Amino acid sequence: MARPQTDIEAGRAELLTVVDDLVRKRGAVDISMTDLAAAAGMSPSNLYRFFENKEALLEAVAERFFEDKSKIMVEVTESDLPVRNKMYEFFARRFLVMVQKYEAEPDLLKSYLEIGQQHFEVVRGYVDLGDHYLSLIVAEAMEQGYFQGLSIDETVSLINQMIHCYTNPESIIYIGTGKLRVEKLAHIVDAMFNGLGVQASAELTKESHIKIVS
């Protein structure tokens, strides 16, 4: 008889905390199903009731890793905040969650980031999801006259580049929370809304004096 769904869910959540412990102990080394079964004190065949294969396990790890961030994205996008505040909170809240995670257990975050790089196929969906929600906010801003002359995709890409330091967890590690502050993020969001769009930028590249010095 199949276990009831809630038992499976509870078992999975418990197994994910065992994964945490393994990552704490071993760092970003690959965790096999056999390792996990041993660490959880269950037989491999029992483990497969919870995660049918390694991919399912990795997806569950990613889902939990991005859970808070996904929640924030939905909440902010669906809120009735003014669009500029939406943009700010879309980035600021997730940044603060990341800082909190980093400060609680820096090494655990670093290890998960490495695991994420090794299995980028699992992470890609979450990156795309972020772009999806961002483009909803951008479309709303465009209806109000912002980002004139740019397409949604161009705007999404420019915004992602301008706030890269606040979305890339590596930045928190290398630039540090002394320099990365939500007050600065607010200035950058303002620069987007006040300055990104029909501009003299065509002129900048057209009249460019760029020579490669070599």
Binding site for a copy of itself (CB under 8 A): 68, 71-72, 75, 79, 81, 84-85, 88-89, 92-93, 96-97, 100, 150, 154, 157-158, 161-162, 164-166, 170-171, 175, 179-180, 182-184, 186-196, 199-202, 204-205, 207-214
Q: How far is the CB of 162 from a copy of itself (least distance, A)?
A: 5
Least distance between a copy of itself and beta carbon 5 (Å): 25
Q: Which is nearer to a copy of itself, 139 or 188 (CB)?
A: 188
Task: Report DSSP state, residue 82.
Answer: -
Cβ proximity to a copy of itself, 13 vs 175, nearer residue: 175
Rounded Cα–Cα distance for residues 174 and 81 (Å): 32
Nearest in space to 90 (alpha carbons), one of 76, 105, 79? 76
Q: By C-alpha distance, which of 19, 56, 58, 54 is closest to 39?
A: 19
Contact criterion met (CB below 8 Å) for 189 and 203: no
Q: Least distance to a copy of itself from the beta carbon of 207, Å?
A: 7
* DSSP-H helix ranges across the chain: 5-26, 33-40, 44-50, 54-78, 83-104, 106-118, 120-143, 152-162, 164-167, 169-174, 182-195, 201-206
**Would you say 5 or 214 has its CB closer to a copy of itself?**
214
Q: For residues 128 and 183, which CB has a smaller minimum distance to a copy of itself in the complex?
A: 183
Q: Return the number of the residue (126 or 193) whose C-beta is nearest a copy of itself.
A: 193
Compute the least distance from the CB of residue 64 to a copy of itself, in Å.
Answer: 13
How many CB atoms are closer than 10 A to CB 41?
A: 8
CB of 199 to a copy of itself, least distance (A): 4
**CA neighbours closer than 13 Å in the CB half-sphere of residue 104:** 9
Nearer to a copy of itself, 139 or 158 (CB): 158
Distance from C-alpha of 50 to C-alpha of 112, rounded to nearest angstrom: 21
